[in-house]
Structure 1
Amino acid sequence: MEYSAFAGYVPLFLDESRKIGEMFFVSYKKKVRQNEEKRPVSFILDGGPGASSIMLHMNFFGPRQVAGTEKGIDLPEMPYRFADNENTLLTHSDLVFIDPVGTGFSRPEEGVDPYKTFWGVKQDIDSICQFIQRYMAQNGLFGSPLYLVGQSYGGFRCGALASALQERGIQPKGIVLISPALSYEDLAALIPNDRPHVHNLPTMCNAAWYHKKLAPEFLGMDREELYQKAKSWAESEYLAALWKGNRLDEAERHSIAEKYSQFSGLRAEEILQNNLRVPIDYFASNLLREKSVFLGAYDARITSRGAIYDLNEDPSMFYAQVPAFSALMDHFSENLNFVESREYIYFNKLLYPAWDFQSGVNNPGNRGGGFACTVGELSKGLRRNPKVRLFVAMGNYDLRCSRASFEYSVNHLDIPKSQRDAITLKHYDGGHMLYTNPAVKKLFKTDLDLFYEG
């Protein structure tokens, strides 16, 4: 396939006279014949907040990729190999990989406070909207079908962009969400919010099944059948028990702990010690405690030596990020002839703790606070244009953004039933970055082929 590649910046402005920063991107355009119909363009975002687009760029969508391992559950051998990507999305769409301000090479203008200007839900969406609008104008793309692609918090961004772009006169044709987060209320297990515990249990069951920590009758079941059994119990008997809070009597507590143990592979005593609400980090630390290893929370198939789960040492992130970074740096110099003196920040650890999540709370006046959520914005975008299509890919072993949490969000979209039934929901045998599993990568690309072909 012949294509052109370009790395550059789009300036961002507070108004026409005041520049506030610049956003870095890498784009790929397939070479087309004269008078050929305009190709779709896909704007691609990762999450965090704090992540650049490197994972989606180098591990899946880009025309060049870093080679992984046979099963995608360990670190490739050095030196990292770099090759053409047969699964690139460039077959169906031109690609624009976006690095939000504070990631990649994107920076605020000197004297501009990024905490107030960029690092928050609303601020971030405003800057990305401006980027997309300016990029489309500069490249004559307003007649091209537009797709939004977002992973993790990038999915959260796409949920908001669905309607925010419409308000700027830009209409998305399709949205692809990968391991998305749309509602932080379904992810933040804070007292007295019990929903995340209900959502997490079925994925814990998947992990325990994979590592053979369940009873023989459960290990002999098909994984998806067992997942649905765990989900059904979590959404009924377990939810009802949590709803009672401290009114639950001891006999009920022990009964729930025993059943939770059967699905999770943990001991009933541990579940009781955690008041029937087992945190993800505890589960990742203790499922395989006898081997002195912990699970990756972003891909529970992957393990690492250590007694306690540590986010900074999560193997499911490290194994994917490091090779991708090396490949991208090589790609800049060898293929794009792009040289930049500043550091490329593939993940900015400063952003998440500093992020203004309250600007994304749909609560007039923010009285009483609340959780950031873009379910309402996505609903609005889909209602305004019923022709907008939605594809969602979820990993069976993703403990951070579990399948059940997003399925709950989809079930609460305020859209007609006909639109709900038209949403494509797919789950794959991978983690948060589900495409690091080579078998899944091919299957996922086949499903995306069908989606882009309509």
Structure 2
Amino acid sequence: MRPWSLLMTSVLAIHLAGFPASADDTKETPKAAEKGKADEKDDDKLIVTQHETKIGEESIKYRATAGLMPLHDASDKVEARMFFVAYTVDTKEDQPRRPLMFAFNGGPGSSSVWLHLGALGPKCVVVPVDPTIPPPPYRLTENAQSWLDKTDLVFIDPVETGYSRAIKPELNKKFHGLQGDIASVSEFIRMYLTRYERWTSPLYLVGESYGTTRAAGLAGHLADKGIALNGVILISTVLDFQTIGFGRANELTYSLFVPSFAATAWYHKKLPADLQGLGLPELVTEVTKWAEGDYLAALGKGDRLPDEERTTMIKRLARYTGLSERFVDLNDLRIPQHLFSKELLRDERKSVGRFDSRYLGFVGNAGSPSPEFDPSEAAVRPAYTATFNQYVRTELNFKTDAPYHILGGGQIGAWDWGAPGIGYPETGSALREAMGKNPHLKVLVASGYLDLATPFAATDYSLAHLKLASALRKNVQVTTYEAGHMMYLHGPSLIKLKRDAAQFIDDSDGR
């Protein structure tokens, strides 16, 4: 899954001034970055600039550090350099007591640009209010919903994303796998806490999409290294890949996608009048109960399903998804995401987005089984590519001729998911273990009703099967938004996400 993020802009109109840091402005910056100079001898390239913005009624002065963090092997040789952008607020308080949050997106193979310029950072991409593809040229504006008033932020680009690179191409395979990725990001976090003297800060992780897989795994990995977290925020979550992997021998996924199909059909007004008249939460509650009950039981019967019961299931599935009974019948009651995205609006020669099904794409061949492209991806990738490349060079003053790999660039090949025969990849168990070792760890889970990449029902199912001790279940808070994979595409959801995150930090920072 690829994470995409976006931001509404009607309330964003605050000026941000950027200028190079002076020697007096670098109290939390290693000497390599003083006066905005890079220290090649230390294998670092760190550039520091000073800025000011306004979030709510509060004017905030902060420092931005853009640079490369070296990762070393057991013999202390540099294996890779990871690019990051850190925002730290100037405060009279003891800096190590201010919350610190590490943020990343997913892919695998995505940079952190989506969370960075979409929801959390002090700047955001200007996009249309409606779910449409914006015209170029693109620009940034101030982010009135930035999380910087609540926590310092460090955006991490894993190896071969962004400007992060392995020293030699043959080293990439070490980092491009479930465990290698977790280990390398864990080492980055250790290095950051050490170099910037933040070991006693309240610590948080926030990941989106595959970034939630990474965040859950990191929670367990860091706990084993003695690094306790205050909180983990999971945005558009996948903890167990069985819940999103369509396959002949995996009936579970088909049932977990149906509520998101229903939400999408409701949004596009393709449901019967009585269902169309329901509120979205009420609708998905009804559909989820049926999909995880009678429907999943029917799928489990396979060829033993009686004809009468099969007919009943066909009618109900068509009713809840906006698809024809014939289409449901021809697909044997099992509708994968790509078929649904093409079929729902096929007669209108349109397809719906995977990451956000509010977005529509015009199709060239209405008779083909799958969409030709994802309109929700097309709506954001050019804008984020252009604005980040301009922003990092001009306002952050980090200048390089290297390409910034937004998504899927560089030397990322086949992802190592682990040894064969161990089942579907999952990191929910690592999160459970981290919570067991640190009963103060809290988790905030944010899902979108219109997400067809990591459906909210799949997330809820995974959380219900973490096997948490009853005393720890209260530490998990789940919120669902009327938007897609990147719920901050939707203005009201963006505001709610900031409000939920702010309250979460206040409730968990331990101060």
Tell me, yes or no, whether TM beats 0.5: yes
Q: Distance in 2 between matches of 1:37 and 1:113?
A: 34
- Asked if the contact 1:119/1:351 (under 8 Å) is kept, the reply is no
- Asked if the contact 1:64/1:85 (under 8 Å) is kept, the reply is yes
Correspondence for 1:67:
126
- Asked if the contact 1:294/1:309 (under 8 Å) is kept, the reply is no
Q: What does 1:1-16 correspond to in 2, within 5 Å?
A: 1-16=60-75
Correspondence for 1:338:
398
**1:371 and 2:448 aligned:** no
- Asked if the contact 1:293/1:303 (under 8 Å) is kept, the reply is yes
Q: What does 1:280-299 correspond to in 2, within 5 Å?
A: 280-299=337-356
- Asked if the contact 1:199/1:405 (under 8 Å) is kept, the reply is yes
Q: Say which of 440, 446, 460 aligns to 1:393.
A: 446
**1:125 and 2:182 aligned:** yes
Correspondence for 2:475:
422
Report the alpha carbon displacement of residue 329 of structure 1 after superposing the two structures with TM. Answer: 1.1
Paired residue type of 1:89: W
Q: What does 1:415-454 correspond to in 2, within 5 Å?
A: 415-454=468-507
Relative to structure 1, is the Cα distance of residues 351 and 434 closer, same or farther in structure 2, using a 3 angstrom cutoff?
A: farther
- Asked if the contact 2:99/2:201 (under 8 Å) is kept, the reply is yes
Correspondence for 1:255:
312
Correspondence for 2:408:
348
Q: Distance in 2 between matches of 1:37 and 1:85?
A: 25
Q: Distance in 2 between matches of 1:139 and 1:443?
A: 32
Report the alpha carbon displacement of residue 349 of structure 1 after superposing the two structures with TM. Answer: 5.7
Correspondence for 2:28:
none
Report the alpha carbon displacement of residue 422 of structure 1 after superposing the two structures with TM. Answer: 3.0
Correspondence for 2:163:
105
- Asked if the contact 1:295/1:309 (under 8 Å) is kept, the reply is no
Report the alpha carbon displacement of residue 429 of structure 1 after superposing the two structures with TM. Answer: 1.0
Q: Distance in 1 between matches of 2:383 and 2:369?
A: 22
Paired residue type of 1:199: L
TM-score (norm: length of structure 2): 0.85
Correspondence for 1:143:
200
Correspondence for 1:40:
99
Q: Distance in 2 between matches of 1:350 and 1:310?
A: 27
Matched residue SS, 2:291: helix
Report the alpha carbon displacement of residue 38 of structure 1 after superposing the two structures with TM. Answer: 2.1
Report the alpha carbon displacement of residue 138 of structure 1 after superposing the two structures with TM. Answer: 0.5
Correspondence for 2:234:
177
Q: Distance in 2 between matches of 1:227 and 1:352?
A: 37
Q: Say which of 4, 24, 29 aligns to 2:88.
A: 29
- Asked if the contact 2:161/2:410 (under 8 Å) is kept, the reply is no
**1:403 and 2:460 aligned:** no
Matched residue SS, 1:354: coil
- Asked if the contact 2:205/2:233 (under 8 Å) is kept, the reply is yes
Q: Distance in 1 between matches of 2:185 and 2:379?
A: 29
- Asked if the contact 1:358/1:370 (under 8 Å) is kept, the reply is no
Q: Percent identity?
A: 33
- Asked if the contact 2:356/2:376 (under 8 Å) is kept, the reply is yes
**1:194 and 2:247 aligned:** no
- Per-residue CA deviations over 1:412-446 (Å, capped at 9, x if unaligned) read 11221232133110000111011011121111111
Q: Distance in 1 between matches of 2:410 and 2:371?
A: 15
Relative to structure 1, is the Cα distance of residues 236 and 349 closer, same or farther in structure 2, using a 3 angstrom cutoff?
A: farther
Matched residue SS, 1:15: coil
- Asked if the contact 2:70/2:80 (under 8 Å) is kept, the reply is yes
Q: Distance in 2 between matches of 1:39 and 1:52?
A: 26
Which moved further from structure 2: 347-356 or 134-143? 347-356
The CA RMSD measured in Å over matched residues stands at 1.6
Report the alpha carbon displacement of residue 42 of structure 1 after superposing the two structures with TM. Answer: 0.4
- Per-residue CA deviations over 1:121-159 (Å, capped at 9, x if unaligned) read 001111111111011100001011110000000000011
Correspondence for 1:362:
none
Q: Distance in 2 between matches of 1:341 and 1:234?
A: 51
Correspondence for 1:94:
152
Q: Say which of 375, 378, 382 aligns to 1:318.
A: 378
- Asked if the contact 2:98/2:202 (under 8 Å) is kept, the reply is yes
- Asked if the contact 1:284/1:309 (under 8 Å) is kept, the reply is no
Relative to structure 1, is the Cα distance of residues 319 and 230 closer, same or farther in structure 2, using a 3 angstrom cutoff?
A: same
Paired residue type of 1:295: V
Q: Distance in 1 between matches of 2:67 and 2:104?
A: 16
Matched residue SS, 2:468: coil
- Asked if the contact 1:9/1:22 (under 8 Å) is kept, the reply is yes
Q: Distance in 1 between matches of 2:144 and 2:210?
A: 27
Matched residue SS, 2:148: helix
Matched residue SS, 1:24: strand
Correspondence for 1:57:
116
Relative to structure 1, is the Cα distance of residues 327 and 225 closer, same or farther in structure 2, using a 3 angstrom cutoff?
A: same
Report the alpha carbon displacement of residue 166 of structure 1 after superposing the two structures with TM. Answer: 1.1
Q: Which structure 1 segments of 5+ residues have no match? A: 360-365
